[in-house]
Amino acid sequence: MATTSSDATVIRAAAQWLVRLHSGQAGPDDVAACNHWRAADPAHERAWQKAERLARDFGSVPPALGMPVLSRQATSVNRRALIRTLAALGVAVPAMWSGWRHAPWQGWVADYATAKGERREIVLTDGSRLTLNTDSAVDVVWSDSLRLVRLQRGEIHVRTAPDSADRPFVVDTPQSRLRALGTRFLVRLPSAQDTLLTVLEHRVEASPHNGGARVIVGAGQHAHITQDGVGAVQPHFALPGSAPDGEPGWLQGVLYADGMRLADFLAELSRYRPGVIRCAPEVAGLLISGGFQLADTDYVLATVQEILPVDVTLRTRWWVMVTPRGNAASNAS
């Protein structure tokens, strides 16, 4: 789904209304004006609903944090507070729209999206099932000749269903087109340059967008794909977070670790938690094992502190430091 300049304008306006009404200084006239804007066009209402749902799902704004009005009289502290709050909401207005496809705004215009820590299953019209992992967004485009899912960000689990019209089932990413060959598979965007394909059943044909050779990835295998080619096809059982049988743990809300480096474990955990988790270099190489429930990342961090010689310091809900035990203060900077 292409994003037009009119889409951007509407979403920018929805963000501005959301900020105004969450500022702590909005009055009845502001609410009435916002309602008038929403009623003026169905596109306005759709943008508003998506913006409001995104902010609510993220749960990003601390209840005690009012959003100051950015004015000529605002102090530099108020300006910084506003910027932090906007970032927490995911509604910071970009200076340029050229980075649109990689911005949090994708969730506002995507057909389906999840916030950090959220998982969501969608049953498509043909009976296929999509499960969106944390912080993911997809578009679904059905035609007479093709069943197409565009992964904008994050990770999805796909279970395809037979199609009476015999239309191919395809997942598009910025790097590749993935054609299901009667299958169940995972697609993840670990970076802006990389697609990770993991096949759980049957096969998937991977075609890089820049014309590299097509590669068939079979059950029990994974491969990294760039625009120019498909990397080495390897067994997927060693992928971070997988259960002992190779199934993705996140589908059951569990992060599995089997001798995983602490830095890698915390990087994976941070996908399911708003804010930042920093790991001191001195403890990055410690090994951790177990199954950890992703529904309560605070408890996971407390468990890490119990089983490893580390201190876990929550400066705020959104800023976590993991340092050598007894050395938290000196590493807090």
pLDDT tens digits, 110-120 = 788 898 899 99
Candidates 331, 319, 324; CA nearest to 305 is: 324
pLDDT at 6: 57
Q: Are residues 124 and 219 in the same domain?
A: yes
Structural element, H or E, at residue 256: strand 254-261
The domain boundary, picked from 109, 127, 148, lies at 109
Q: Is 130:158 a contact under the CB 8 Å cutoff?
A: yes
Q: Dihedral, CA atoms, 216, 218, 220, 221, nearest 10 degrees?
A: -10
Contact 250, 227 (CB under 8 A): no
Closest-CA residue to 287 (of 318, 258, 311): 258
Count of the separate structural domains present in the chain: 3
pTM comes to 0.67
Residue 16: give the domain boundaries: 5-109
Tens of pLDDT along 204-244? 999 999 888 999 999 999 999 999 999 999 887 667 777 77
Residue 243, in any domain of the structure:
no
Rg of the chain, C-alpha, whole Å: 22
- Among candidates 323, 318, 321, 322, which has minimal Cα distance to 117? 318
At residue 95, the pLDDT reads 35
Strands (E), 133-231: 137-142, 147-153, 155-159, 169-172, 176-191, 194-208, 215-218, 221-226, 229-230
Residue 195 within a domain: yes
- Nearest residue to 239 via CA among 205, 264, 216, 217: 264
- In sequence order, what are the beta bridge partners of 151? 138
> What mean pLDDT comes out for the span 18-30?
66
Return the percentage of the chain with pLDDT > 70, whole number. 74
Q: Percentage helix, strand, coil, to 5, in the chain?
A: 30, 35, 35
Does residue 242 lie in a domain region? no
Confidence of residue 26 (pLDDT cuts 50, 70, 90): low
Instruction: Give the model confidence (pLDDT) of 169-203 as tens digits.
Output: 999 999 999 999 988 999 999 988 999 999 999 99
Listed residue (10, 193, 16, 19) closest to 102, CA to CA: 193
Query: Are 95 and 16 within one domain?
Result: yes
The stretch 103-128 carries a mean pLDDT of 80
One domain for residues 22 and 70 = yes
- Tell me if 244 is assigned to some domain: no
Say whether pLDDT at 313 is over 90. yes
Tens digits of per-residue pLDDT, 58-80? Answer: 443 333 333 333 333 333 333 33
- The whole-angstrom separation of Cα 198 and Cα 249 is 13
DSSP state of 99: G
Q: Are residues 127 and 230 in the same domain?
A: yes
- Residue 37: helix, strand or coil by DSSP? helix
